[in-house]
Amino acid sequence: MNPAPSVKTLMIDGKDVSARADQSILDAARENAIPIPTLCHLDGLSEAGACRLCLVELKGTPRLQPACVTLVEEGMEVTTQSPRLEKYRRMVVELLFAERNHVCSVCVSNNMCELQDMAKQLGVTHVRFPYRYPRLPVDTTHERFTMDHNRCILCTRCVRVCTEIEGAHTWGVFGRGVDAHLITDLDIPWGTSDTCTSCGKCVQVCPTGALFEKSKVGMQSQKNPDFLNYLNEMREIER
Amino acid sequence: MSKATLATIWLDGCSGCHMSLLDMDERLIELSPQFELVYSPLVDAKVLPRNVDVALVEGSVSSDEDEHKIRLIRSRARILVSLGDCAVTGNVPAMRNSFPVDALLHRVYIENATLQQQVPTERLPVLLKRVRPVHEVVTVDVFVPGCPPSADTIYSVLKELLAGRVPDIAALSRFGI
Ligand code: SF4
Ligand code: SF4
Ligand code: SF4
Ligand code: FES
């Protein structure tokens, strides 16, 4: 048996909380009903630290830290809401919109998209950065699913669910910086992939209109990532 | 109290935002004692007056004519409102931005045309290289996203502006829908 992990005490937004040493600031905050905005985090998957929406302030350091990949420490003093954090979170969302082509009014995920919701939640009413308008492909080769690179925010939820839960390792990230994009297997059309089991898990966890089921549009395209918690619970019981 | 002067302008958009404005129905009558509509696709006035209190702008800036209009309106309006996703983000009109204008015109007027295959050139505004949201061209005071913003949203925005207050847009509307 593993030794019980030690307990840390810390302060989040002036509130005394305790957490296991292996918990992130995000975990500790959510357990105490302190909300921190996130996009790449998804309960049931490993953390990627990809979106930077969960940035928080730590006393004693000028650098902002992502709450999802920063472990709690004894005596930490965390601030989750401040004008500075709001400013950066809004910038993150605006940059996501400016980076690719988001045309909500004609998107399959219109009105059920986590990026769109986040913009509203953070009060983003317009994007101050110039839009890039890159020319990006749409992969329609899979029998049931479509990948629209125009809407991808590179959160890597799909990569993680395919690797960690389905065990298929179909998705990967190719290239760096602004050229980074998703690929299936060794950069072949999704429909010709030997590894994809067509389980649809990547579609269900995708927060935006990047991955969707071909037969479903509008209100039918609602995603249900909750299966993850169920699967993980069942696995815990087996062990 | 003298009436506020209101103008509405239609750049590159589908007119859906103007339809949404009309959708306010009886609430237009409720607000009408407070403003005079001095210039709009909905009225006959041909000339934009010098002093406009509130200008509602629908549509993105897509042609040299749009650019000329929006600069003129900015110079005459006290409060300029970017109304709807085309004005705020570029939206559907900006979907052409990933392609060169020449290729676009060729596709529409030559490749996809069955009759009279020629690119129109006379007496038409010239398309800009890129469609731009209004705030990339002139300063915008109030942003109202939405495709289109609902009649409720436009009503609240107008009511607040006419009362001299700044509306809390994030609570009222969002991109898309
Ligand atoms: S993915 Fe979301 S934010 Fe992007 S266009 Fe679609 S609805 Fe809008
Ligand atoms: S459908 Fe399943 S196996 Fe195929 S890419 Fe998506 S998660 Fe991986
Ligand atoms: S396809 Fe969807 S889940 Fe995958 S990285 Fe892009 S936005 Fe995230
Ligand atoms: S949720 Fe922490 S970086 Fe995305």
User: What is each CA distance from B137 to A101, A104, A228, B140, in whole angstroms?
Assistant: 20, 22, 46, 9
Rounded distance between C-alpha atoms, residue A152 and residue A115, angstroms: 10
pLDDT digits (tens, 9 = 90+) for B50-96: 999 999 999 999 999 999 999 999 999 999 999 999 999 999 999 99
∠ CA A112-A115-A118, nearest 5°, is 100
- Say yes or no to pLDDT of A2 above 90: no
Rounded distance between C-alpha atoms, residue A151 and residue A159, angstroms: 16
Percent pLDDT > 70 in chain A is: 96
- Ligand 4 site-directed mutation target among A24, A46, A53, most atoms within 8 Å of CB: A53
pLDDT digits (tens, 9 = 90+) for A119-135: 999 999 999 999 999 99
Rounded distance between C-alpha atoms, residue A215 and residue A226, angstroms: 21
Rounded distance between C-alpha atoms, residue B32 and residue B42, angstroms: 14
Model ipTM value: 0.93
Interface of B with A in 33-72 (CB under 8 A): none
Task: Answer whether CATH 3.40.50.700 is correct for domain B4-171.
Answer: yes
Average pLDDT over residues A136-159: 98
Q: Which two tokens stand for residue A225?
A: 């990532």
Report the candidate in A31, A30, A89, A33 with the shortest Cα–Cα distance to residue A57: A89
pLDDT band at A167 (very low <50, low <70, confident <90, very high): very high
State the pLDDT at residue B87: 98
CB distance A146 to ligand 2 below 6 Å: no
pLDDT band at A50 (very low <50, low <70, confident <90, very high): very high
Q: What is the dihedral of CA B131, B135, B140, B144, to 10 degrees?
A: 70
State the pLDDT at residue A229: 87
Average pLDDT over residues A170-198: 97
pLDDT digits (tens, 9 = 90+) for B94-108: 999 999 999 999 999
| A–B CB contacts, 8 A cutoff, strictly below | 71
User: Where in chain B are the domains?
Assistant: 4-171
- Say yes or no to pLDDT of B126 above 90: yes
| Protein residue closest via CA to atom 3 of ligand 2 | A196
pLDDT digits (tens, 9 = 90+) for B161-172: 999 999 999 999
Angle between helices A83-99 and A114-121 (to 10 degrees): 140
pLDDT band at A217 (very low <50, low <70, confident <90, very high): confident
> How much distance in Å is there from the Cα of A145 to the middle of ligand 3?
13
pLDDT band at A216 (very low <50, low <70, confident <90, very high): confident
- Say yes or no to pLDDT of A235 above 90: no
State the pLDDT at residue A74: 97
Average pLDDT over chain A reads: 95
**Helix, strand, coil abundance in chain B, percent, nearest 5:** 40, 25, 35
- Say yes or no to pLDDT of B1 above 60: no
- Say yes or no to pLDDT of A5 above 80: no
State the pLDDT at residue B150: 97
Average pLDDT over residues A83-105: 97
Average pLDDT over residues A12-35: 97
Report the candidate in A224, A223, A172, A216 with the shortest Cα–Cα distance to residue A193: A172
| Protein residue closest via CA to atom 8 of ligand 2 | A162
- Supply the pTM of this predicted model: 0.94
Residues of B in contact with A135 (CB under 8 A): 98-99
- Ligand 2 site-directed mutation target among A197, A206, A231, most atoms within 8 Å of CB: A197
Residue of chain B minimizing CA distance to A219: B177
pLDDT band at A4 (very low <50, low <70, confident <90, very high): low
DSSP B1-55: -PPEEEEEEE-BS-SHHHHHHHTTTHHHHHHGGGEEEEE-TTS---S--S-EEEE
Domains and CATH numbers, chain A: 7-81 (3.10.20.740), 87-238 (3.30.70.20)
- Say yes or no to pLDDT of A238 above 80: no
Average pLDDT over residues B41-52: 92
- Say yes or no to pLDDT of A239 above 90: no
> How much distance in Å is there from the Cα of B62 to the middle of ligand 1?
22
- Say yes or no to pLDDT of A1 above 60: no
